[in-house]
C-alpha cells in the first residue's frame, strides 16, 4: 500500500493497534504509537495523534491512559471480557459436533477479539484436543442451512447415512432423498438434532445433523405446522434418552436419596417426587421406554427400582435376563 494511502487510513490503523497490541498490562506510549505507525509508513505528529485518540474515544472506544510503569495508552474495555472468551473457546473445543479443523479455525477467530497478549491465555485453555470430534466437516454449514430454511419457512431435502462395521458411510433409504420440513434444532448427548416433519412418513422425526448430507433448501413451504404447534420440544428431549424413541409412558421409579440431583438434572425441577422412608424417594416421570432408558437405570446401580407399570417392569426384567444369558455363555 502506498504511503499516501496509509496516511489517509491512519486512524483505522491506530484503532487496530489498540485492539491488537494493547490491554491494561500492555499499554503503548505516545512515542511507541508514533513508531508503530511509522513502521506502516504513516507520519503522526503529536497534536494529530492526540486528536485521533480523542476521535476514537468519542466513537466509543474505551481508551485509557496509565501513568504508572509501564506507562501509556490502552484499550480498557472490549466487547468480550477475557473470562467470556475463555468460555467460548472451551465450548468450541469441547463440542463433539464441531470437527477439529473447524474448532481450530473458530478459536483463531475468537483470539482476534482480544489483544495478542491475552490471546495466549486463551491458547492455554485448549486442554481437550484428544477428545472424539465429529468427522463430518459439513456439519458447521448444515446447521446454518437448516436455520436459513426455518427462517424462510421452506422445506429441505437431504441424504441420511449410517456407519458400517468397516467404518464406511452407508446411505439410508437406498440413497433416496428425505423430504423434511425443519422446525427446530436441539442439542442432546453432545449432538445436534433436527426436529422436523417428514413429508413422506407424515410424522415428526429427529435426525442427527452430522449424518445429513447434501442439504438443499426447496421452494416449498413447510408442512406439519399444526402437528408442531402441539409439539413440546422440551418435554420430548426430557422423555427421550439419547434421542432413541419408544412408547411414551408414565413410569414410577424408586431412588435412593443420593440420586435426587441426578433425577432433577435429567427430568427438570418440576418432576414429581415423593419421599419413601428416610433414605428413598419415588419419582413419577414421563419417558419414552427404550433400551437406552433401561441402560440409564442400570448405570445407577442397585439402589434404583422401577415400580410401575408392570409392563415396563417385565420388559426390563426380560432385558436383564437376556443379558445374563449372553454373558453366562462366555467362557
Q: What is the pLDDT of residues 278-303, one digit of tens each?
A: 999 999 998 888 888 898 899 999 99
Residue 244 has pLDDT above 70, yes or no: no
Residue 231 has pLDDT above 60, yes or no: yes
What is the sign of the dihedral through the CA atoms of 135, 241, 185 and 94? negative
Helices (H) and strands (E) in the chain, counts: 13, 12
CB 178 within 8 A of CB 167: no
Query: Which contacts qualify for 310-317: CB closer than 8 Å, 24 or more apart?
Result: 312/249, 312/251, 315/289
DSSP state of 98: S
Residue 2 has pLDDT above 50, yes or no: no
pLDDT band, residue 163 (cuts 50/70/90): confident
Domains of the chain: 3-77 (1.10.10.10), 82-123 (no CATH), 139-231 (2.30.30), 238-328 (3.30.70.240)
Tell me what pLDDT residue 121 has. 83
- Pick from 281, 198, 288, 273: nearest CA to 241: 288
Over residues 300-319, mean pLDDT: 94
The overall average pLDDT reported for the chain is 86
Number of Cβ within 10 Å of residue 36's Cβ equals 17
Tell me what pLDDT residue 127 has. 47
Tell me what pLDDT residue 239 has. 62
Determine the Cα–Cα distance for residues 190 and 215; give it in Å rounded to an integer: 21
DSSP state of 177: P
Determine the Cα–Cα distance for residues 259 and 261; give it in Å rounded to an integer: 5
CB 126 within 8 A of CB 195: no
Amino acid at each position: 500500500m502506498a504511503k499516501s494511502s496509509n496516511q489517509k487510513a491512519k486512524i483505522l490503523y491506530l484503532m487496530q493497534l489498540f485492539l491488537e497490541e494493547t490491554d491494561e498490562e500492555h499499554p503503548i506510549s505516545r512515542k511507541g504509537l508514533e513508531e508503530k505507525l511509522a513502521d506502516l509508513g504513516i507520519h503522526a505528529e503529536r497534536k494529530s495523534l492526540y486528536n485521533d485518540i480523542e476521535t476514537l474515544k468519542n466513537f466509543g472506544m474505551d481508551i485509557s491512559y496509565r501513568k504508572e510503569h509501564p506507562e501509556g495508552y490502552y484499550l480498557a474495555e472490549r466487547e468480550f471480557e477475557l473470562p467470556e472468551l475463555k468460555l467460548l473457546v472451551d465450548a468450541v473445543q469441547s463440542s463433539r459436533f464441531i470437527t477439529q479443523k473447524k474448532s481450530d479455525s473458530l478459536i483463531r477467530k475468537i483470539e482476534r477479539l482480544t489483544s495478542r497478549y491475552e490471546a495466549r491465555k486463551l491458547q492455554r485453555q485448549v486442554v481437550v484436543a484428544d477428545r472424539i470430534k465429529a468427522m463430518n466437516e459439513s456439519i458447521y454449514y448444515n446447521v446454518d442451512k437448516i436455520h436459513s430454511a426455518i427462517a424462510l419457512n421452506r422445506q429441505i431435502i437431504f441424504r441420511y447415512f449410517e456407519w458400517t462395521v468397516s467404518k464406511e458411510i452407508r446411505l439410508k433409504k437406498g440413497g433416496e432423498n428425505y423430504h423434511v420440513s425443519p422446525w427446530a434444532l436441539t442439542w442432546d448427548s453432545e449432538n445436534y438434532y433436527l426436529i422436523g416433519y417428514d413429508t413422506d412418513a407424515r410424522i415428526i422425526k429427529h435426525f442427527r445433523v452430522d449424518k445429513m448430507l447434501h442439504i438443499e433448501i426447496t421452494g416449498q413451504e413447510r408442512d406439519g405446522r399444526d402437528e408442531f404447534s402441539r409439539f413440546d420440544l422440551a418435554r420430548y428431549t426430557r422423555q427421550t434418552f439419547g434421542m432413541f424413541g419408544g412408547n411414551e409412558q408414565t413410569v414410577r421409579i424408586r431412588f435412593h436419596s443420593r440420586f435426587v440431583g441426578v433425577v432433577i438434572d435429567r427430568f427438570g425441577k418440576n418432576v414429581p417426587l415423593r419421599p419413601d422412608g428416610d433414605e428413598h424417594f419415588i419419582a413419577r416421570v414421563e419417558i419414552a421406554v427404550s433400551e437406552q432408558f433401561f441402560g440409564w437405570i442400570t448405570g445407577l446401580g442397585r439402589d434404583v427400582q422401577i415400580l410401575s407399570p408392570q409392563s415396563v417392569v417385565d420388559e426390563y426384567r426380560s432385558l436383564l435376563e437376556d443379558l445374563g444369558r449372553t454373558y453366562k455363555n462366555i467362557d
